[in-house]
Structure 1
Amino acid sequence: MMTTAREGDVLFFYFSGHGTAIPAFHDDRFVEDEAIVPCDFNIITDTDLREIISQLAAGVSFTILSDS
Structure 2
Amino acid sequence: MGIFFAACEQTKSVEYYQNHPEEAKKRSLECRHKAIISQDCVNAYRVGFPKDEWEDENISNP
Q: TM-score, normalised by structure 2?
A: 0.29
Greater relative contact order: 1 or 2 (C-alpha under 8 angstroms, separation 6 or more)?
1
Task: Point out the structure with the larger helix share.
Answer: 2
Question: Greater Rg, structure 1 or structure 2?
Answer: 1
Task: Point out the structure with the larger strand share.
Answer: 1
